[in-house]
Amino acid sequence: DFLHKLSHKFVSDSQAVTVENLNVKGMVRNHKLAKAISDAGWGTFTNFLAYKLERKGAKLVEIDRWFPSSKLCSNCFYQVSEMPLDVREWTCPNCGTDRDRDGNAAINIRAEGIRMLKTDGSAVSAVGGDVRPHLGRKSKMGHSPVSTEADTVLGTPSQCG
């Protein structure tokens, strides 16, 4: 019931939702993470999002699991080469901005989703709120690197979740 309510809230408040295409089956092979990942119901949640967004005529944008959302500074786009999972906060060596790993990833996933929608021919407002697909066009979104345009980095970690 919780996942239905949460997905309904996301869908009712959005014309597009961007998620990371996680390898849930691979992640549950890690015995330390298996229970937490299974309990979270990520696959079920994304399925709920997909069918509810489709019914509404909105889009589910999936970011490739290899997109460096955690390692890419959302301020200057510098990419850190290595970052172990236990590192939860980091400082960008290029611009000196302090980053919360999850908040930074959320900003980057959102920005990449907006960039992909723009590439797909969808209209996106400057704040990412008004996303309307062109009628009659099928989505052919694929993964490609994040844009380095300044206007694609939107929000702060507190705004992302």
Angle between helices 42-56 and 2-12 (to 10 degrees): 40
**Cα separation values, 26 from 39, 100, 102, Å:** 15, 25, 20
Q: Given this model, what pLDDT does residue 75 score?
A: 96
Mean pLDDT lowest among 22-26, 116-120, 136-140? 136-140
Three-class SS state of 20: strand
Under the banding of pLDDT at 50, 70 and 90, the label for residue 33 is low
Q: What are phi and psi of 101, to 5 degrees?
A: -55, -50
Q: Given this model, what pLDDT does residue 65 score?
A: 86
Under the banding of pLDDT at 50, 70 and 90, the label for residue 20 is confident
User: pLDDT, tens digit, for every residue of 52-92?
Assistant: 999 999 999 999 988 999 999 999 999 999 998 889 999 99
Residue 150 pLDDT exceeds 50: no
**Which tokens sit at 8?**
């309904």
**Which tokens sit at 110?**
């959102």
Q: How far apart are CA 69 and CA 111, in angstroms?
A: 10
Share of the chain above pLDDT 90, in %: 47
DSSP 43: H
